[in-house]
Structure 1
C-alpha cells in the first residue's frame, strides 16, 4: 500500500446490507482548519449506521457516494490542522464524527476539534469509542426524564427497555448514579448482566409480565427510557405510568410523533417525548471522565478486525447485540 493510502470499508449505494460493503484503498484524509487527523484504534457501530445505508435518511445522508460509515471513534492524533489548540500529535482521544463525513471504518479519519475529547489512560480505545452516540443518548434521555446524576432530587421510578443494548446498558448505569429505582427489560440471556449494571428489577421481555412492562414490585413509572428499536404501542406504556409519567422515545417514528401531538393537544398529564441526541463535546467529556472514575463502563459485545468489518456490520444488523460492537484496524 502506498504511503499516503489507507485501508477502508465503504459502500456506493443504498441498500444491500453486508453485501454492499467493499474493502478499498483510499487516500488518507487531510486535517483542515479546526480538525485533527486520527489514527483509528477503535470504532463502535450504531443502528444509525445501517439505517443510513438502508436509506432511512435519504436524500440527506449520505451526502455523496462512496461513503465510509462509522461516527464513533477512539484513536491517536497524528496531525493537527490550522487553529487547533487543545491537541497535538500523540494525544489519545475519543471523537464523534459528523454524519456527513463519517469515516470510522478506516485506518485514519479526520475529526473536528469541537467534537474531540482527551482520552485518559484508564479508558481503553474500545471503551471510549462506545460513548459518543449511545452514551450521550442515554445521558440526555435521563436528563429529559428529570434524573439528576448527583443524586439530588426526589426518587424517580424508571423503566429502561432494551437495557442490555448499546444505549440501554449505559442508561441503567447512569440512572443509578441518580436517586432512582430502575426496572429494566432485556432477553433472558442478559438478565444477570443487567442486574449487575445496577437495575433494581429486571424483566424478560418474552414473558407475559415483561411484554406488558409490569414492574415486579407493582410500581408505576415516572419515566420510561424507550430504547427498543421495534415499536411498543402507547397502550402498553399507559397503564404502567404514574399520574405525570412520560415516555422518552429514542427511536421515534410517525406513530410516535402522532402520539406526541395528541397528548400535547389534549393536555394529557401523561406524555410521549421524541428525543434525538445532540452529540456535543461537553457531554462526551463528562462520560469519558465517568469511565475514568470507574462509575461507568462500556459493555463490549464483540470486537472485529477492520478486515472482517462485514461480521461487525452483520452483528449490528441483527439487532441483538449486548452492549457495543467494535471494529479495530
Structure 2
C-alpha cells in the first residue's frame, strides 16, 4: 500500500524520476534570507472586506524537525474558508494554535486562510526522510494552521504527499481538503475500503459539492453502487462522475423517493438539518450499516459555550444519538476532517490511474482572492475554486 512506502522503501528516495527543472526558479533565495512574503490575511473576522493583501506577512519557519516549507503554486478554497473568515471555530482553532492559551489573541491575527495547497518543497526539517527539496507536493492544511493564500506555508511532513504526476498544480489544489475529509468520513469512520466496498449501496446526501463529487468517484472506483441527491441541473454532472441513481431535491421532499429504494449500507450526509429525522430509516438494520454526517455542532458549541462546556455538550449529544439509533440496529457517527499524507498517497495512485479527476470550476489569480471568496460564498458550485499563486502581480 502507498502509505507503507513511507516506512519501508527508503531506496525509493534515491531512485525516483521526478523532474525538478520547473521548480528550480523557486529556490533562488534561501529561507534563511527571507523574513517576509506576500499573502492575503485577515486582521479581524467579518465579510470579504476584511481580506487584506500584504507583502510583509511573516515568512514561515521550521519549528520542529518533521516540518517542511512549501512554495505555494496553487491554493484551493473551500466553504470552511468563508466560514473561518467570519469567525467560525475561532475558540477551538485558537486553542489548537496555543494549547496553554497564553497568547491566544496574539497568535490569532493576522490569519492566513486557504486549506488546499499544491506546490514545491523549499526546505526540509532534519527528521524529514521521505521528501527532498524541489519535490512537487500537495496537502490539506489543518484549520488551526496558517493557510495557503501566501507564497509559502509550513507543514508537518505527515500532512504532505507527492503530487499526482498527471495533474497540474491548479488541478491538484482542487482535491486534498475534500479528499481527506471524504477519506476520514468513509474509511476512518464509515469503515469502507477498496477491499470491502464492492456491491455496497451508498447514499450521498448533497452529491454535487466538493465532498460529494469526490466521494462519488472514490466509491465507484471501489465498486460501490452510489445514489446521490442534488438539484435537477446537476444531474448530468454527477452522473458524469459515476453516480448510479440521482434524486432531485428540487422536485419535492427526497425522503419519499429514497424510501422506495432498496436499503443502504452507508449514508454520507453533507446536508444536515432535518435529514437526520429520516435518513437513518434508509439503512439496512442489524447489518452494521452506518449513517455518517459531516454537519456537526461541535465548533458551534465551543464557539458559543467555550471549549470545556462546548465539548461536554457535544459529547452528550453524540452519545445520546448513537445510543438512540443503536437500539434500532444502525450506527450513528460524526465525521471530521483529518489531515493525512498517507491517505493522499493512496488518492494520488487513484488519480494517476485515471479513477479520480480534479473538478475545477474556476481559477483566479492571486490578485483576485476576494473575487474567489465571493464565488465560494455564493454556493451551488459544480467543482472547486482555485487560486493560482505562483503567478501573482507585483
Q: Counterpart of 1:277?
A: 337
CA contact (8 A) 1:31 1:110 kept: yes
Q: Counterpart of 1:288?
A: 348
Q: Counterpart of 1:29?
A: 60
Match of 1:325 among 385, 390, 393: 385
CA distance in 1, matches of 2:256, 2:117: 34
Match of 1:115 among 136, 159, 181: 159
Q: Counterpart of 2:172?
A: 128
CA distance in 1, matches of 2:70, 2:337: 24
What do you get for the CA RMSD once the two structures are aligned?
2.5
Match of 1:197 among 241, 245, 262: 241
CA distance in 1, matches of 2:190, 2:139: 26
Q: CA distance change for structure 1 residues 153 and 120 in 2, over 3 Å: closer, same or farther? A: closer
Q: Counterpart of 2:192?
A: 147
CA contact (8 A) 2:198 2:222 kept: no
SS in 2 for 1:176: helix
CA distance in 2, matches of 1:145, 1:100: 25
Match of 1:233 among 271, 275, 280: 275
When you count helix as a share of all residues, which structure comes out higher?
Answer: 2
Unaligned ranges ≥5, structure 1 = none
Q: CA distance change for structure 1 residues 213 and 287 in 2, over 3 Å: closer, same or farther? A: farther
SS in 1 for 2:216: helix
CA distance in 1, matches of 2:273, 2:120: 39
CA distance in 1, matches of 2:294, 2:281: 20
CA distance in 1, matches of 2:186, 2:119: 28
SS in 1 for 2:320: helix
SS in 2 for 1:38: strand
CA distance in 1, matches of 2:112, 2:270: 26
Measured after TM superposition, the shift of residue 4 of structure 1 is 5.2
Q: Counterpart of 1:301?
A: 361
When you count strand as a share of all residues, which structure comes out higher?
Answer: 1
Q: CA distance change for structure 1 residues 280 and 80 in 2, over 3 Å: closer, same or farther? A: same
SS in 1 for 2:134: coil
Q: Equivalent residues in 2 for 1:73-222 (5 A)?
A: 73-143=117-187, 144-150=189-195, 152=196, 155-208=199-252, 211-212=254-255, 214-215=257-258, 218-222=261-265
Match of 1:223 among 252, 255, 266: 266
TM-score (norm 1): 0.89
Q: Counterpart of 1:57?
A: 89
Measured after TM superposition, the shift of residue 201 of structure 1 is 0.5
CA distance in 2, matches of 1:86, 1:301: 33
Measured after TM superposition, the shift of residue 202 of structure 1 is 1.1
TM-score (norm 2): 0.75
Question: How many residues in Structure 1 have an aligned counterpart in Structure 2?
Answer: 324
CA distance in 2, matches of 1:92, 1:314: 29
CA contact (8 A) 1:77 1:93 kept: yes
SS in 2 for 1:74: strand
